[in-house]
Amino acid sequence: MAARRAQAVGSEQTWLEAAQAFIQETLCPAGKEPTIQFTQLVIDCVKTTWLSQGKNQGFTLPLSYSFVSVQDLKSHQHLPCCSHLSWSSTAYQAWAQEAGLSGTALPRERLLLLGTLTDLPEDLEQGCRNGSLYVKDNTGILGCELIDLDLSWLGHLFLFPSWSYLPPAKWNSSGEGHLELWGVPVPVFPLTISTGPPTPIPVLYPEAASRLLRHRSKLRVMRPNLAGKLVRLSALVKSKKKAYFIVSLGELSPPGSQAGGHVSIIVQVPAQLVWHQALWPGRAYVLTELRASKIHGHRYRVWTTNPSSHLLPLKPECVRELDLDLELGRTLLEADPKPLPRTSNIQDRQEQKGLSRDSRLLSYTGTVTGVLNQPAGLYELDGQLGLCLSYQQFHGLRRVVRPGVCLELQDVHLLQSVGGGTRRPVLAACLRGAVLLRGFSRQKPETQSSLQVWGASLYEQLVWERQLGLPLYLWVTKALEELACKLCPHVLRHHQFLQCASPGSPSLGLQLLAPTLDVLAPPCVPSRNAHKEILEEPHCCPLQKYTRLQTPCSFPTLAALKEEGQCRAWTSFDPKTLLSAPEVSHLTSCQLNQRLAWSWLCLLPSTFHPAQVLLGVLVASSHKGCLQLRDQSGSLPCLLLNKHSQPVTDPRLIGCLVRAERFQLVIERNVRSNFPSWKELSMAGFIQEQRARVYVQFFLADALIWPMPRPSLHSATSSTPPQTEPTLPEGAHIGQSRLFLLSHKEALMKRNFCVPPGASPEVAKPTLSFHISGSWLGGTQRKEGTGWGPPELKGDENKDQKVLLIFIGPSVRWFEFLHPGQVYRLVAPGPPTPALFEEGGSSCISQRPLELAGCTSCLTVQDAWTLELERSQDIPDMPSINKALPESSLTDLLSDNVTDSLVSFSAEILSRTLCEPLPAATWTKPGSTEARRGCVKITVAVETADCEFPPHLDIYIEGPHLPPPLGLLPGARVYFNQLEKRVSRSHNVYCCFQSSTYMQVLSFPPETPVSVPLPHVYLARLLQGGQTPFQAVASCHIVSVFSLQLLWVCAHCTSLSIQGRCTHQGSTCPTQTSVSQASIRLLVEDGTAEAVVTCRNHHVAAALGLCPSEWVSLLELVRGPGKVALQFIGPGAQPESSAKTDEPLTLFLRTLCTSLSVLRPIVLSFELERKPSKIIPLEPPRLQQFQCGKLPLLTHVNPRIQLSCLSIQEPEHSSSLGAFASSCSETATVA
């Protein structure tokens, strides 16, 4: 026991020596010698506080605690901590356990903090006070927060028994930490207790002070003292010129009585700004020696303090009410007692009565439970309310507010149903209200991301300069968060994106929102008037009135947009709706699955709620050769047009930030299915595979474009360092280039190239590449400063120097920017190399193809080389360039001349389907996978200037050109260059993609499909030479029926099905489902000519005049025999089926086909059976003899026109002709 006591005595001695050294160095006033009395007072203060806990375990000194200076906290304390001298370990554990329920409690450090409490920043003049509090010692000064300040504490030395320290965030290297002073500080020296003035202070109460303001002559000689209860405390307003706040004193009405008026006092003396932290609403105060002043922008005089004014607590025994009747005579009583007139905004209320709402003013005390956006001043209160502090200047409070902080909100606005994506009610404080700190947080601050740190100045600009209302402000903060998540930190740093706008440096965040903000909230010239907002009645501020905001738009990530597009595409994928309802029941399994194999969906921004805005960095893929938009979430392929029919040609667009409100989100669906028949279309189990290709297409004229810094571009476009920039630091300043005119570009596809020396031939694989051919324009030019020097003169410059450029590997990224008719500059960075662009030794093409292409040299474009677009008018001695797209004439296109098999034309895509592959070409090996792959068939309407009715043509894409390029969609206009023209065995012209094919999309499908009615023609028009429509409408009359065939076939193998069973010998069909098929050939005439019309499947029912139920009944009758075929030769019919001619079904059909129900007027929509692409000549008119009585007549007869039925409709003026058909159907049913 004695040994333990001796050890304790030794420890106390050591502790006392360290304490004395610390006190003399840190706390002793500057310029004074340290005294034993001063040191002992400090130690006694610490000892008294330590012993007050009652559980000191017999130690009279806090030996486990060490003294800490302000400088030590700044330099060595890098983690948040707290210290509680008078607390036991049990008390701290209980305190920390309560904090740990919703977060991590502040760790405890055993430190002793002493310092002088002051409102004067270090080494600054008295006029630089801003109302903040500081703790100061000889080593430095540190900002602090105190909940209940007594003004008499300022300038005195204190021991702080309970405090917490929050160091600056890691990102804020120039910032400083701050102290949170929990308990009442303990003075080292006894404070002087004020006994009050020797005589009572004469005071005016609010009502009399308000009346006195209206007497200007009396105000010059009076500086009254005002007394009253604090009913309102405004925010501390800090402007460029000065800082101030306004207090409002009310009458001392007893509890339960109705309060009277109040008087406002402006406190703007710098030394008095600290009063803001000492004032408590509800307490009574006296403000001395006030004067009346006229405030700019405010029509009435108000009371203001002066440097000699004081703030005192109101004690009834220390004041007396000033009798104005004795002081000023009776003139004041005889004055008009009417209150000051108030400004009215009745007109504004009437204008906004419809949609606007009034917020509600209230006071509220609650606990912060979440930080929504600290720079924007958005928090969560009590887990239920939103809190917005951005309409005040809360710079000092921002560092304190975190989960666990208790706040008292005076005169804040309650806004409900604000919209804009915010669902909870929001409390928002304007300048009139006060946000008072009532309790510190026990929780340790969470590590903040860059998004939670930057942007405070930008958000203040939105509130103070743009004067956004709260609903719009909440949406803007949410939109900026979305944009930051898309672009930061790889495209831009957060501080770059959220920087405050200035005249020379506009904010990128606001630029992206400007198209929407300028409509919803045009820029305001006058900024907020703080005096008017606080003083005037009725209250008017940006929070007073609001309108529920319908979210104008959102900025989804590209990954989210892609996922949403795929989700909608597959949700809307319904095989029943993709196929024509009347036709689907007649399709075989192969036809059914083939038509479902490809479909597409186009989504416009207006189909999303809210509307989506496309945003991303434009990059060129070196793996696929297409353009892409990229953000933090991923990439999305895109198809761009500069404007209508104009491609994108400027490579400087790479790396630019693109924003588009008008775009088309295209989802191409590829489905592999094995539906047995149409009856199983609702069963998803028959879908074997689903794949989707998603991309966007838009015009650059509809987009906003911002160049981005190159260093930030690199990390956004690729996970590896970019290859387009030279690796040498001086590479940007040296290099060489050469101009060339592009004349032709070939397809982007996988090609075979020669194997490099030493490599095994077996490992060579086709590589994605493309070729362009053109002509050099002048010689090589070297970099000179920021421009290019004169071209080198070599050889015969007048000779046409044709060149073939090969783009392979990463250089395929230039594919989308290269187009015929444009002049480009090929740039090779780095030190000059002689004959770099003249020699083609590095290429992998033999001399023979070069001779065939008419090129003298071949050059492989290196990965590090870049391209620049040049304007032809900037090039001296530039020959004229014809930029018109070359097109073949219609005669060459539809001729049987095979010597010129490459054709070019513009066309509109009518349809796109998947079909069986074409017969293997000569280069395809038998049995290879290329020969067995599918094929894409595109039907187009060729655009020709001299053709009123454009001919239809089929284009096939197969082999290495699959999948097809982006943009080949029905409704799009496309230019095709050097397609291979072929002639089928039925003498129809069709085209195929080849390696030399160049394709350019001219326009996108229209956003709203335009239905163009078919032309109404006479049949004789189809016999005339020249232009005839491929599809048209004619009003005609059915003369007779040539043939009729009804049958049932196996849905799998298409063999005849009798009584629902397939008749194919050795059939291994997986299903016994059968489908009906029908055809009828009719002779029609319209008075000008005759035509033979072939109707199939459901059109047969319309030709026979049968309703759907009658048609179904008829087909069921045919299911038994499996097939009924009739050939009508003159009167009567000869059946071609196993049924006898006198069977009821045959009799019914023969009777029906010769009745007036069939032989009637109709409106026929048709297409020519002979395609416009058929190249054999028309059959000439033939001589035919007719008998007219006894006289034979010989005349020329035109061949009958062959038509295919598209639809049959009844003429509007015809009467009902279905009575006979109904009677016949009844007879057939009875039979």
Task: Write the DSSP string, 474-494.
Answer: HHHHHHHHHHHHHHTTTTS-H
The more confidently predicted of residues 932 and 679 is 679
Residue 931 has a pLDDT of 40
Q: Which secondary-structure segment (H or E) carries 358?
A: strand 357-358
In terms of DSSP bridges, do strands 111-118 and 66-68 run parallel, antiparallel, or are they unpaired? parallel
Residue 325 has a pLDDT of 65
Residue 213 has a pLDDT of 82
As to burial, measured by CB atoms within 10 angstroms (0-12 exposed, 13-18 middle, 19+ buried), residue 766 is: exposed
> Is the model's pLDDT at 1133 over the cut of 50?
no
Residue 1139 has a pLDDT of 46
- From 245-249, 393-397, 698-702, the region with the lowest mean pLDDT: 393-397
408: pLDDT confidence band, cut at 50, 70 and 90? very high
Residue type, 493: R
Q: Is 889 within 8 Å of 951 (Cβ atoms)? A: no
Q: How far apart are CA 516 and CA 645, in angstroms?
A: 29
Sequence-ordered strand ranges (E) for 94-160: 111-118, 133-137, 140-146, 157-160
The more confidently predicted of residues 886 and 74 is 74
CA angle 684, 685, 689 (to 5 degrees): 85
Share of the chain above pLDDT 90, in %: 42
Residue 950 has a pLDDT of 85
- From 179-183, 753-757, 855-859, 899-903, the region with the lowest mean pLDDT: 753-757
The more confidently predicted of residues 210 and 560 is 560
Residue 1134 has a pLDDT of 46
The more confidently predicted of residues 950 and 1139 is 950
- For 446, 481, 907, 1036, the CA distances from 401, given in Å and listed in that order, are 12, 20, 65, 84
The more confidently predicted of residues 1231 and 876 is 876
Residue 688 has a pLDDT of 92
Residue 489 has a pLDDT of 76
> Is the model's pLDDT at 926 over the cut of 60?
no
> Is the model's pLDDT at 933 over the cut of 80?
no
Listed residue (116, 140, 143) closest to 129, CA to CA: 143
- Name the phi and psi angles at 361, rounded to 5: -85, 135
**Range ranked top by mean pLDDT from 297-301, 600-604, 875-879:** 600-604
- For 119, 279, 1026, the CA distances from 434, given in Å and listed in that order, are 20, 11, 86
pLDDT 10s digits, 971-998:
999 999 999 998 888 788 899 999 899 9
Residue 636 has a pLDDT of 96
Q: How far apart are CA 426 and CA 417, in angstroms?
A: 9
Residue 910 has a pLDDT of 93
- Mean pLDDT score, 240-265: 79
Listed residue (1062, 1093, 1049, 1099) closest to 1209, CA to CA: 1099
- Mean pLDDT score, 866-884: 74
Residue 823 has a pLDDT of 92
Q: How far apart are CA 1033 and CA 1167, in angstroms?
A: 9
Residue 873 has a pLDDT of 65
724: pLDDT confidence band, cut at 50, 70 and 90? very low
pLDDT 10s digits, 954-970:
999 988 888 899 999 99
907: pLDDT confidence band, cut at 50, 70 and 90? very high
Q: How far apart are CA 781 and CA 737, in angstroms?
A: 5
Q: CB under 8 Å, gap of 24 or more: what pairs does 570-575 form?
A: 570/669, 570/690, 570/692, 572/601, 573/599, 573/669, 573/671, 575/673, 575/675, 575/681, 575/682
> Is the model's pLDDT at 471 over the cut of 90?
yes
Q: How far apart are CA 135 and CA 117, in angstroms?
A: 5
The per-residue DSSP string of 11-38 comes to HHHHHHHHHHHHIIIIISPTTS---HHH
854: pLDDT confidence band, cut at 50, 70 and 90? low
Residue 1228 has a pLDDT of 40
- Mean pLDDT score, 1013-1040: 87
* CA 34 and chain centroid, separation: 67
Residue 173 has a pLDDT of 57
> Is the model's pLDDT at 800 over the cut of 80?
no
In terms of DSSP bridges, do strands 162-166 and 178-181 run parallel, antiparallel, or are they unpaired? antiparallel
3-state secondary structure 92-112: HHHHHHHHCCCCCECCECCEE
Q: Is 403 within 8 Å of 371 (Cβ atoms)? A: yes
Q: How far apart are CA 998 and CA 246, in angstroms?
A: 74
- Mean pLDDT score, 789-798: 72
Q: Is 475 within 8 Å of 551 (Cβ atoms)? A: yes
The verdict on whether omega for the bond into residue 538 sits within 30 degrees of 0, i.e. cis, is yes
Q: How far apart are CA 42 and CA 703, in angstroms?
A: 70
pLDDT 10s digits, 812-829:
999 999 999 899 999 999
Q: How far apart are CA 777 and CA 800, in angstroms?
A: 9
> Is the model's pLDDT at 1020 over the cut of 90?
no
411: pLDDT confidence band, cut at 50, 70 and 90? very high
Residue 727 has a pLDDT of 36
Strand partners, 803: 774, 857
- From 501-505, 572-576, 1079-1083, the region with the lowest mean pLDDT: 501-505
Q: How far apart are CA 33 and CA 35, in angstroms?
A: 6
Listed residue (375, 362, 381, 389) closest to 470, CA to CA: 389
Residue 977 has a pLDDT of 93
The more confidently predicted of residues 322 and 1099 is 1099
Residue 287 has a pLDDT of 94
Encoded tokens for 954: 């089929």
Q: Tell me how long the chain is.
A: 1231
525: pLDDT confidence band, cut at 50, 70 and 90? low
Residue 596 has a pLDDT of 92
Residue 1177 has a pLDDT of 62
pLDDT 10s digits, 1150-1179:
899 999 999 999 999 999 887 766 666 666
User: Could you tell me how many helices (H) and strands (E) the chain has, helices first?
Assistant: 27, 63
3-state secondary structure 360-418: EEEEEEEEEEEEEECCCCEEEECCCEEEECCCCCCHHHHCCCCCCCEEEEEEEEEECCC
> Is the model's pLDDT at 679 over the cut of 90?
no
The more confidently predicted of residues 565 and 1 is 565
Q: Is 245 within 8 Å of 279 (Cβ atoms)? A: no
Residue 453 has a pLDDT of 67
pLDDT 10s digits, 725-752:
333 334 456 889 999 999 999 999 988 8
- From 23-32, 62-71, 311-320, 1023-1032, the region with the lowest mean pLDDT: 1023-1032
| 270 CB-near residues (< 8 Å, 6+ apart) | 126, 127, 128, 129, 130, 242, 243
Q: How far apart are CA 544 and CA 484, in angstroms?
A: 31
755: pLDDT confidence band, cut at 50, 70 and 90? low
Exposure string of 451-487, with b = 16+ CB inside 10 Å and e = fewer, is bbbbbbebbbbbbbbbbbbbbbbbbbbbbbbbbbebb
- Name the phi and psi angles at 910, rounded to 5: -95, -40
1026: pLDDT confidence band, cut at 50, 70 and 90? low
Share of the chain above pLDDT 70, in %: 81
Most distant pair of Cα atoms in the chain: their distance: 159
Please, what is the average pLDDT of the chain? 82
